[in-house]
Amino acid sequence: MVEDGGNDFLVDGRSTEDWLLHAQELVPVALDKANEVKGFPGRWKMIISKLEQIPSRLSDLSSHPCFSKNALCKEQLQAVSKTLREAIELAELCVKEKYEGKLLMQSDLDALTGKLDLNLRDCGLLIKTGVLGEATLPLAVAGPVAEPDVAINSNIRELLARLQIGHLESKHRALDSLAEVMKEDEKTILSVLSRSNIAALVQLLTATSPRIREKTVTLICSLAESGSCENWLVSEGVLPPLIRLVESETARAIVGHGGVHPLIELCQTGDSVSQAAAACTLKNISAVPEVRQNLAAEGIVRVMINLLNCGILLGSKEYAAECLQNLTTSNDNLRRSVISEGGVRSLLAYLDGPLPQESAVGALRNLVGAVSVEGLVSLGFLPRLVHVLKSGSLGAQQAAATAICRVCSSTEMKKLIGEAGCIPLLVKMLEAKSYGAREVAAQAIACLIVLPQNCRDVKKDDKSVPHLVQLLDPSPQNTAKKYAVSCLACLSSSKKCKKLMISYGALGYLKKLTEMDIPGAKKLLERMERGKLRSLFSRK
């Protein structure tokens, strides 16, 4: 059994034809079991639609003249068979209702849908890459001299195909082999290289495995030096991920060679321009998670807070705020360090300007969960929050709404935020063009609305119901729908709000969301339909 990041294959003696037969036998079993399931109708409807596509993909593969001659076909059939077995197991659990929890099963079903998507995609790619077609060249006709060249070309096509298809270890081996061939026979690789191969390489630059990223960079550098595919590389977007990787390497090199200490000294003693340049460099370095602890050991937290308080140029203060935001993104020790050094007070003071900066709000968002309600109130957190929601950029407002979600764990804080006047400003945010801004605004309202007095404030705003109903839109791009359902459920106790919801089309949206298993949608729909029936009978 080989662990390979999601697919593991049994090393056995079964032929490709055996695996094909096995997969073909599993499909009707999986479909029968899936059709028996009553729960999670939206998710199983999606899974069934994908299961129904598998036979045609298997047929496409098996009808190819070289189906049984290529190792990729066998591996793909093993992957499909594994996914089908998983579908059968999950269907049986759902039929018997013997799963651990609803949310966990929803997550498992979403993962299954993703695997089916990947299987269908890889089956299609196996044909499209041309790796099978290359093997159909008649070697006997080509003659004995051409045989080695044809075999080499076929092998390279298979290696290039493995950049797009197959499991993680397969991609590692393919990159190693391609790098070796590139050293010895660059022309042959370039002769069979296609744009889709370049696109696959560019995608591997963002892989989670550092080894994959490093090997991909090596191969891309060799291709770039050949001078044959610069246009393809650029048009497929190679520059942004390469720049990010270079910045990460540069940051490690600066830290490793003792470059942090002189930069910190410049922030403390340099002139205004040098101070800003040093702060900017440290801000960039702090974006790399692996070096943040090294920066902390050099005293960067206190220096950035001092710069925030006393920086000569506004740019220096902005870089300091961004640096603190980076440092506190995912490190509890650094969060505690910033708080103990007085960072919360300094960040709040920095927000008093006419255009509160997103970076400072982002840093506060990272910190507020570790500060008590009393501490935040005494430091003046609430009026600054209102100031950002009124006057900040959309990004700053979004960070402020996220901060509200993080501090709303207590009834007391929910009450204080409502009294501070945040609710009308969050309702206004629901009009934003950005999906992310609408989502976090709806999430913040959902946190606050559970308190009766906050619910009354939401009801008072004439735009709240129309905006929230609009956020029931079932499209995948709308990520706010589950929070909109939660908010409207709280408002549905009001007859006036319920009538407004119906008039703005909430029933149609909720029917679709119920099919999609959006939490709370079914219950809200039933409540609204009961109310509609009562009003119908009362009129008679």
What b/e sequence results for 243-254 when a residue is b if at least 16 CB atoms lie within 10 Å of its CB, and e otherwise? eebeebeebeeb
Residue 333's pLDDT band (boundaries 50, 70, 90)?
A: very high
Q: Greater confidence, 14 or 127? A: 14
Specify burial of residue 417 (Cβ count, 10 A radius: 0-12, 13-18, 19+): buried
- On whether the CB atoms of residues 246 and 278 are closer than 8 A, the answer is no
Question: Any idea which residue has 């709280």 for tokens?
Answer: 490
For residue 141, is pLDDT > 80?
no
Residue 429's pLDDT band (boundaries 50, 70, 90)?
A: very high
Question: Any idea which residue has 């595919």 for tokens?
Answer: 229
For residue 498, is pLDDT > 60?
yes
Three-state helix/strand/coil letters over 44-57: HHHHHHHHCCHHHH
Question: Any idea which residue has 């906050």 for tokens?
Answer: 454
Give the pLDDT score at 242: 84
Q: Greater confidence, 206 or 375? A: 375
Whole-angstrom distance, CA of residue 294 vs CA of residue 256: 9
Q: Which of 110-114, 188-192, 198-202, 459-463 has the lowest mean pLDDT?
A: 188-192
Question: Any idea which residue has 């991909």 for tokens?
Answer: 216
Whole-angstrom distance, CA of residue 110 vs CA of residue 105: 9
Structure tokens at 98: 């013997």
CA dihedral 178, 183, 188, 189 (to 10 degrees): 40
Which segments of 471-505 does DSSP mark as H helices, in order?
481-491, 495-503
**Cβ partners under 8 Å of residue 239, min gap 6:** none
For residue 316, is pLDDT > 90?
yes
pLDDT digits (tens, 9 = 90+) for 25-61: 999 999 999 999 998 888 999 999 999 999 988 888 8
For residue 446, is pLDDT > 50?
yes
For residue 394, is pLDDT > 90?
yes
Residue 384's pLDDT band (boundaries 50, 70, 90)?
A: very high
Q: Greater confidence, 434 or 243? A: 434
CA dihedral 191, 194, 195, 199 (to 10 degrees): -110
Give, as one character, the DSSP assignment of residue 318. H
- On whether the CB atoms of residues 384 and 347 are closer than 8 A, the answer is no
Task: Output the CA–CA distances (angstroms, integers) from residue 294 to 33, 255, 291, 428, in the order listed.
Answer: 54, 7, 5, 42
Distance of CA 533 to the CA centre of its chain: 42
Whole-angstrom distance, CA of residue 327 vs CA of residue 392: 22
Whole-angstrom distance, CA of residue 418 vs CA of residue 408: 11
Whole-angstrom distance, CA of residue 248 vs CA of residue 533: 62
Whole-angstrom distance, CA of residue 344 vs CA of residue 348: 6
What's the average model confidence in pLDDT over 404-425?
95
Give the pLDDT score at 392: 93
Give the pLDDT score at 1: 27
Tell me which residue of 339, 334, 326, 336 sits closest to 283, measured CA to CA: 326
Give, as one character, the DSSP assignment of residue 370. G
- On whether the CB atoms of residues 504 and 466 are closer than 8 A, the answer is yes
Neighbouring CB atoms inside 10 A of 348's CB total: 20
Residue 232 φ then ψ, to 5°:
-60, -45
Supply the mean pLDDT for the chain: 86
**Is this prediction's pTM over 0.85?**
no
> Which long-range contacts does 460-465 make (Cβ < 8 Å, 24+ apart)?
461/423, 461/424, 461/427, 463/427, 463/428, 463/430, 463/431, 464/427, 464/430, 464/491, 465/491, 465/497, 465/500, 465/501, 465/504
pLDDT digits (tens, 9 = 90+) for 118-138: 888 888 877 665 555 544 333
Share of the chain above pLDDT 90, in %: 53
Q: Which of 75-84, 152-161, 211-220 has the lowest mean pLDDT?
A: 152-161
Q: Greater confidence, 306 or 270? A: 306
pLDDT digits (tens, 9 = 90+) for 160-177: 777 777 667 778 888 888
- On whether the CB atoms of residues 400 and 388 are closer than 8 A, the answer is yes
Whole-angstrom distance, CA of residue 452 vs CA of residue 486: 14
What's the average model confidence in pLDDT over 173-187?
83
Give the pLDDT score at 131: 56
Neighbouring CB atoms inside 10 A of 50's CB total: 18
Give the pLDDT score at 397: 96
What's the average model confidence in pLDDT over 394-413?
94
- On whether the CB atoms of residues 406 and 369 are closer than 8 A, the answer is yes
For residue 534, is pLDDT > 70?
no
- On whether the CB atoms of residues 33 and 93 are closer than 8 A, the answer is no
For residue 533, is pLDDT > 60?
no
Give the pLDDT score at 146: 42
Give the pLDDT score at 439: 95
Residue 365's pLDDT band (boundaries 50, 70, 90)?
A: very high
- On whether the CB atoms of residues 539 and 531 are closer than 8 A, the answer is no
